[in-house]
Chain A
């Protein structure tokens, strides 16, 4: 119960941060030259001044900046995210439509990176400075150093163009709309390449962290005690070392949930996925302030939720944390 109180306090503390972020983004976007009407003009290939004036009024851009900001915050208090100028519908609806692909992609690649990072990290730590360690560490370094858009494009070239195993892009098959279990399989097929692309970079980080933390824990006294008790090595690793070595990994997940949202702009563009990253990018280019602020708001909420779960996991892994509160 104590942990819930702690998390609740954290949650309360994050609200001022959230508001500061929103105001900051709002003001930053005012610094960018041009507004959403200029962006619309750019898209249309021109228009006359009267049209532009009328459009500014239509989008509420004829008001002063403080009034616009005030209006925005007042709407936010009433949980109204406003109206998107590029989509012509409420921001909440636009974001809800884009949330599932992002969350699916994020969960899939984080799980992939976490699981294999853990596995390879343990293998590398157990064979430290021998060939498995060298091989895994080198591969990790290569994954980490490769830009994700290149990875994505190469994956498309190999698996979609040459082997024709997987679709080259999109979230689902448009030609024949699948339902039920086939629909799930269809979406899964479309997510394999993006998940690998996004996951491989994070995999590299996780396996390095896991390896380092395993090596550290393996040298602690209680591990020596466990060995002295006559336990075999596998039991020592799984029962005693792993659990303690996992803490830094869990911390990292909390930190990276936010990065994953941003990092997926590139992956979403390369694989034509309708996710939040691309929506955010488009909102900046189109100067769609309401949508952008809405995305910042939702992303911040997601990060807070993930960190909350991480806090709970800490307590599960290391009971001392819950006890000390």
Chain B
């Protein structure tokens, strides 16, 4: 591939898009004075259908984008990324960190008219979050019981101290409540309510035509006054990204969430006044691109080789030319958007230095043989996004220049997870690490030893470090926020030194939305939020 020629095309396209994205903030301020208009249908691009729609039993953006408008969580994040009550009005933790008491909102009813009470919270926490919900089962591992002294109080009891700031940052995603009266009999996974969700949220489920659309209408009995504004939300199932971009242009869609269009279409639409293309409103869904090392390969178990791999790749060049302003240089597993935990860039980093990479490889004893080749590696890229595919090719070419031959082996989603995290049939793997507002939710599992074989996105590298394990465990039960932050800074330093996984790029999902939408992208997880204040201008 001719990198210099690509540079011109991609750079021109992406710089323009960045300029437009930067302009987005101003028009939104100007509109703040408008009077909200009631009514209207909001059409949403839905790229990948899920097997069910209940966010209490499946934590993924594909569920939140629909279920998050119908069902509500105890706590969400406000415009500044701080926890704000939704179904919970207030909360308090005991000094020992082993009990957390939630006071629930009064006068909230389910869409079928039944009242929402602490019994629903107890049922959901014990039967869904603890047993079924992915990441929830880890978060609530030490949850022993939920007491319900009265219908407006739920007391969570933990076997080990539960840091309140961890719980409050995890609950926006992992704290959706389901109705006890609809789920108490039968298998929760097979409950038909999962495909026709009933909640307390601003929109009521109407219809789901598989492969075509999902409809939800405004809930006239919603507990927030004067909300919601929209009459209806329609999610249209469109699997082809180019077709979705065409439907945006034809005016049949208002919103394509979570980088649902191709990079080139997002760049193109950002130049169109009818659309806003921005990363705003997705700060809570940060992710980092990874290089995962398999220590079963003796070359990769040598730290000098892992560092040489990192030094051999010119990350800023890749970001500038392929990803543009939608990505930035990463500094470790905790992204810079996580203001509560980000330790800064003052941890071991591996800037581009080809000579150093070659020297490290020589030092490790892997001298260049015939034709300049030192050894060869198998790289498995995840199929989640075009950035991973581009990044893999870039890694392949960069490593080729220091004498490491890389073979890329592509798989679909199921195949990738099976081969990497269960079969361990990889030398290098590359995908996304999703950061979920607190490192204890889905970040430390990438490094903590003792992960069961086959658990995706966990430490399957055959790497173990007692110091790192201890830091992770201490931080998970530390209830003093300042000490917890310090422990995570220590953790980042340690894993950046040992480098079992390298996380050199930080990305935030891109939103493409109609310029007619108001009150959008106003929280860090807006795509998943309830949209109770969203409205469409005439």
Interface of A toward B, CB cutoff 8 Å:
32-36, 38-52, 58, 85-88, 94, 97-98, 149, 152-153, 156-157, 160-161, 164, 167-171, 174-175, 269-272, 274, 278-279, 282, 284-287
Contacts and interface: CB of A to CB of B under 8 A. Distances in A.
A50 B137 contact: yes
16 contacts: A41-B414, A42-B416, A44-B60, A45-B442, A46-B456, A47-B456, A49-B454, A49-B455, A50-B137, A86-B49, A86-B51, A87-B51, A167-B250, A170-B212, A274-B209, A274-B237
A42 B456 CA distance: 8
Contacts of A169: 236, 238, 243, 246-247, 252
B417 A34 contact: yes
Contacts of B458: 46
Sort chain B's interface into a size bin. 35 or more
Main secondary structure of the interface of A (DSSP, over half): helix
Interface in B192-237: 194-195, 209-213, 215, 234, 236-237
A171 to B, nearest CB: 6
A44 B247 contact: no
Given A51-B137, A153-B242, A156-B250, A285 B414 contact: yes
Contacts of B239: 269, 272, 278
Given A168-B243, A272-B240, A48 B195 contact: no
A282 B211 CA distance: 10
B415 A34 contact: yes
B413 interface: yes
A254 to B, nearest CB: 28
A42 B453 contact: no
B417 A41 contact: yes
Contacts of B453: 49
B397 interface: no
B211 A45 contact: no
B91 interface: no
Contacts of A50: 137, 452
B249 interface: yes
Interface of B: 41, 48-52, 58-62, 132, 134-135, 137-138, 189-190, 194-195, 209-213, 215, 234, 236-240, 242-243, 246-247, 249-250, 252, 411-419, 422-423, 434, 442, 452-458
Contact of B452 (A34, A42, A49, A94): A49
B212 A94 contact: no
B525 to A, nearest CB: 14
Contact of A34 (B52, B60, B418): B418
A271 B243 contact: yes
Contacts of A52: 454-455
B414 A286 contact: yes
A156 B243 contact: yes
Nearest to B232: A175
Given A161-B250, A168-B252, A44 B452 contact: no
Contacts of A85: 51
A153 B209 CA distance: 24
Given A58-B189, A270-B240, A97 B210 contact: yes
Query: Closest 5 interchain pairs by CB?
Result: A34-B414, A274-B211, A42-B413, A49-B452, A34-B418
B243 A272 contact: yes
A173 to B, nearest CB: 10
A60 to B, nearest CB: 14
A279 B211 contact: yes
B243 A270 contact: yes
Contacts of A49: 452-455
Contact of A51 (B134, B243, B411): B134
A58 B239 CA distance: 28
A98 B211 contact: yes
A50 to B, nearest CB: 7
Contacts of A278: 211, 239
Given A58-B189, A161-B249, A48 B212 contact: no
Contacts of A171: 212
Nearest to B48: A43
Given A39-B414, A42-B414, A45-B60, 15 more contacts: A34-B418, A38-B414, A41-B417, A46-B458, A47-B455, A48-B134, A48-B137, A51-B132, A85-B51, A88-B52, A88-B194, A153-B243, A156-B247, A274-B212, A279-B211
A88 B137 contact: no
